[in-house]
Amino acid sequence: MTDFINAFKTALGLIVTLNPGLVEILFLSLKVSLSAVAIASVLGFAIGGTLAVYRFPGRGAVVAVLGALMGLPPVVAGLLVYLLLSNAGPLGVLQLLYTPTAMIIAQVVLVTPIIAALSCQACEDLLEEYDEQLRSLGASPRAIVLTLLWDGRYRLTSAVLAGFGRAIAEVGAVMIVGGNIDHVTRTMTTAIALETSKGNIALALALGIVLLATAVAVNAALMSVRRLALRLAYA
Amino acid sequence: MNKRGDLVSPMSPRLRRRTVLVALGALLLALALAPGALHADDKFIIVQSTTSIQNSGLFDHILPMFEKKTGIEVRVVAVGTGQALKNATNGDGDVVLVHSKPDEERFVAEGWGLKRHDVMYNDFVIVGPASDPAGIAALKDADEALEKIAKAETPFASRGDGSGTHRAEQKLWQDASIDAKKSSGGWYLETGSGMGATLNTAVGKHAYTLTDLGTWLSFENKGDFKVLVEGDPKLFNQYGGILVNPAKHPNVKADDGQAFVDWLISSDGQAAIASYKIDGKQLFFPNARPGA
Amino acid sequence: MLDPTHPLNGLGTAFGSARAPLPVELRALNYEASGKLVIDNANLKIETRGITAIMGPNGAGKSVLLRLMHGLIAPTGGEILWGGRQMDRELSRRQAMVFQKPVLLRRSVAANIRHALGLRGVGRKERAIRVDDALKLAALERHASTPARVLSGGEQQRLCLARALSLEPELLFLDEPTASLDPASTLAIEKLLIDAQRRSIKIIVVTHDVGQARRLAQDVIFMHHGRIIEHGYADSFFDTPRSEGARAYLAGGLVL
């Protein structure tokens, strides 16, 4: 119980004093996760829209695999990217291991299937309604994809939020490819893991509270964008 | 929401949409370009090291001294000794600083590392609940303590992760002629985690465990746990430093890495290590043999 | 079965000059879906310049026939000719279709029309002009930037029709466009159709509404069980239906 109380006190203290250490790792967490989600959104929308509209052999299998990859354990995503970026691996020459870029790549691997699968679902649902009308208008498959993505934008923001939630909260992938190096690749989640292992339960919990508050703030920001979009763009 | 018409504002929807997109883009760009998260200087080395050193806080104490002197930034990846050596074998580090002498010697013998240097030591200790159900307090002999724990079948938390501490613990069981692994899942609990996580588990489960003294002293979640056995020569915990072989991995920063190893075993480095204390207690004891 | 010596054959040119190539011709057309023959050997030649109504009980295959003619689905047998040419993608781009349930994009009223024109490759400048014209036509200028999906049912269908007309089709298909509309909205749609027909757009409309068919149609096609039972001038079809099915249908009875 004292840990709980201490955690809230510590969290408040960290925020009020704008603790530079906290600001640094919080900033890195946001930078890595937001960049990863931005990249994963572009990829995921393209993949999801394409899968919803185009018919090709093996499409069902791809959709099933994508669904399964939504549950890809972060550690596995981290390991895959580690093996690629390691100096003994095929992309070792890029010297990206233990950098924020490596963490972004790992989170892109983690988040893209989530955004792709949810976008695909959203586009498929819309397509059911739009299909004949769009084909009657003479839309090419590519134009259909773009139409569906734009008209499905509210559900796509949900997909992006789901991806962001996954990215900001995961520790396994960034730990392996980032290495949790102080001032370089230490994020909120790896710092929480480290403080826990040091037995600093209250501080770890405090960081957790700050992370949660940040996630809530980002969600609120995205939701207000979504609401704005809703008002502008004719649900 | 009103049925229609009321949603139209003076600013055209198209323009407002563009404004939102531009704002989002600017935010992302600002995040990507913002300074602070990434140190701009390229002069850095990666040290594959152990959680026991990181958790003890030693790096935070000595690395600023080295960086100030040489301008070389040291980036520490703290994992178990086994994983640290494996990562170094992949070329993902310039220096290893770990604590499992047989593994280190094999690492060098196989050509992955250059010369191995003794850097420092501290002691392993057996910690456990104050109630001490197996009655091992104040024993001078680690073998005897383990025998008592095994006989009483009181819980014992093992790292179980191939780390230096885990290797040392395995050696102790072997010396005591006890097959603890046989009771894995019973009284013998393999956490497969770092030192701190294992200590957290031990405290939660009222289990004895073997830990290095450095991590123990800096550990904040001790509960009612105490050091019960210490001082047996078998509990000696030697740390060694090795430069990764640049012939195996051309990306290894041999000069800067060697500078770090040299500094660790220099009188400056050794003094820095000796000066790290928690509550007045020294955590690591330098024992490099210059020229050796 | 269609009588090859039917009085309508060869009378198409009597309705003045028009752009739309005619006739619309079906030859031994079959469409099979999950083992069931939905369109059964349909033979048809539409040569009238006015509005053609397709009537028949539920499940007669009217909507399917419309989709086949518009190229949304491919026949499993037979062929469709338009102005003597085999139906293809290029030809279907000179057509437009309005569906029973209005399909509106999640965009503004104006953007719905604009996007449709964009998909048909209409240039930006021309698009703006046609959007304005279509809004005026549908009397929806006030709602140009209103989300299309908050319009009332009648307005939505008017928008769909205006959107279809903005494409300047030569042939327009409508699938029960007023089935769920109130009389005033239905009247508005019918006015637009009559106006479009005056501008020489060939219109083929599926309708359940006998009154509507009487008001609009020049000729009527009666379908039952996937077959075309009758095709004749509207007056003669309504006054003296030749088939048992059509008689029962027009009398408001159940058609088995």
Domain range list for chain C: 12-101+168-250
Domains B44-121+237-286 and B123-235 fall in the same CATH topology: yes
For the record, the structure tokens of B24 come out as 């989002």
> Is A105 in the B-facing interface, judged by CB distances under 8 Å?
no
What is the structure's pLDDT at A164? Answer: 95
Closest-CA distance, C64 to chain A, in angstroms, reads: 12
CA angle A204, A210, A212 (to 5 degrees): 100
- What is the spatial distance between Cα C47 and Cα C219, in angstroms, rounded to a whole number? 10
Region for B223 from its dihedrals, namely left if φ exceeds 0, alpha if ψ lies in -120 to 50, beta otherwise: left
Mean pLDDT over the full length of chain A: 92
Does residue B220 surpass a pLDDT of 60? yes
Beta-carbon separation of C106 and A139 below 8 A:
no
> Is C89 in the B-facing interface, judged by CB distances under 8 Å?
no
Beta-carbon separation of B5 and C142 below 8 A:
yes
Whether the link from the prior residue into C23 is cis, omega within 30° of 0, is: yes
C interface test, pick of A129, A137, A147 with most C CB neighbours within 10 Å: A137
Beta-carbon separation of A143 and C119 below 8 A:
yes
- What is the spatial distance between Cα B151 and Cα B134, in angstroms, rounded to a whole number? 8
Task: Report yes or no: C35 and C188 within 8 Å, Cβ to Cβ.
Answer: no
User: What ipTM, to 2 d.p.?
Assistant: 0.87
Beta-carbon separation of C103 and A135 below 8 A:
no
Closest-CA distance, C116 to chain A, in angstroms, reads: 6
Task: Report yes or no: B165 and B195 within 8 Å, Cβ to Cβ.
Answer: yes
Mean pLDDT of B198-222: 93
What is the structure's pLDDT at B225? Answer: 96
- What is the spatial distance between Cα A128 and Cα A136, in angstroms, rounded to a whole number? 14
Query: What's CA B23's distance to the chain center, in Å?
Result: 42
- What CATH number matches the domain at B123-235, 3.40.50.970, 3.40.50.300, 3.90.1170.50, 3.40.190.10? 3.40.190.10
What is the structure's pLDDT at A222? Answer: 83
Query: What's CA C14's distance to the chain center, in Å?
Result: 21
Which chain A residues have a beta carbon less than 8 Å from that of C120? 137-138
Amino acid at B121: Y
Per-residue DSSP letters for A62-99? HHHHHHHHTT--HHHHHHHHHHHHSTTSTTGGG--TTS
Q: So what CATH class is B44-121+237-286?
A: alpha beta
Cα–Cα distances in angstroms (integers) from residue C53 to residues A92, C97, C206, in the given order: 70, 14, 6
Mean pLDDT of C72-98: 90
SS3 content of chain B, % helix, strand, coil (to 5): 45, 25, 35
The residues, any chain, with a CB within 8 Å of residue B48's CB and separated by 6 or more, are: B77, B79, B84, B85, B87, B88, B92, B93, B95, B96, B97, B98
- What is the spatial distance between Cα C101 and Cα A132, in angstroms, rounded to a whole number? 11
Beta-carbon separation of C99 and A134 below 8 A:
no
Q: Which residue of C99, C120, C150 is in closest CB contact with A133?
A: C99
- What is the spatial distance between Cα A45 and Cα A54, in angstroms, rounded to a whole number? 14
- What is the spatial distance between Cα B288 and Cα C4, in angstroms, rounded to a whole number? 110
Beta-carbon separation of B251 and A87 below 8 A:
yes
- Chain C residue closest to B1 (CA)? C150
CA-based torsion, C184, C186, C187, C193: positive or negative:
positive
For the record, the structure tokens of B285 come out as 């004891």
Mean pLDDT of A29-57: 96
Q: Which residue of A86, A98, A183 is in closest CB contact with B39?
A: A183
Mean pLDDT of B270-292: 89
At C160-197, the pLDDT tens digits run 999 999 999 999 999 999 998 999 999 999 999 999 99
DSSP B183: G
Q: Which residue has the tokens 């088995």?
A: C256
Q: Which residue of C106, C107, C119 is in closest CB contact with A137?
A: C119
- Tell me which residue of A8, C254, A182, C101 sits closest to B37, measured CA to CA: A182
Q: Which residue of A86, A182, A199 is in closest CB contact with B92?
A: A86
- Which subunits sit against A, judged by 3+ Cβ pairs under 8 A? B, C
- What is the spatial distance between Cα C107 and Cα C112, in angstroms, rounded to a whole number? 6
- What is the spatial distance between Cα A171 and Cα C143, in angstroms, rounded to a whole number? 50
Task: Report yes or no: B159 and B166 within 8 Å, Cβ to Cβ.
Answer: yes
> Is A233 in the B-facing interface, judged by CB distances under 8 Å?
yes
What is the structure's pLDDT at C187? Answer: 95
Show me where the domains of chain B are located: 44-121+237-286, 123-235
What CATH number is attached to the domain comprising A14?
A: 1.10.3720.10
How many domains does the structure of chain A reveal? Answer: 1
What is the structure's pLDDT at A186? Answer: 95
Closest-CA distance, B89 to chain A, in angstroms, reads: 8
A residues 194-223 near B, CB within 8 Å? 194, 196-201
Beta-carbon separation of A97 and B24 below 8 A:
no
Instruction: Look up the domain containing A7 and give its range.
Output: 2-233
Does residue C54 surpass a pLDDT of 90? yes
Beta-carbon separation of A181 and B16 below 8 A:
no
The residues, any chain, with a CB within 8 Å of residue B118's CB and separated by 6 or more, are: B238, B239, B240, B265, B287, B288, B289, B292
What is the structure's pLDDT at B6? Answer: 36
Mean pLDDT of B266-281: 94
Q: Please give the residue that has the higher pLDDT: either C8 or C87.
A: C87
At B12-69, the pLDDT tens digits run 555 555 666 666 666 666 655 554 444 445 799 999 999 889 888 999 999 999 999 9
Mean pLDDT of A63-70: 95
At B170-186, the pLDDT tens digits run 999 999 999 999 999 89
- Chain A residue closest to C96 (CA)? A136
State the CATH architecture for C12-101+168-250.
3-Layer(aba) Sandwich (3.40)
The residues, any chain, with a CB within 8 Å of residue C158's CB and separated by 6 or more, are: C138, C139, C140, C185, C188, C189, C192
In B31-105, the DSSP E strands lie at 44-50, 73-79, 95-98
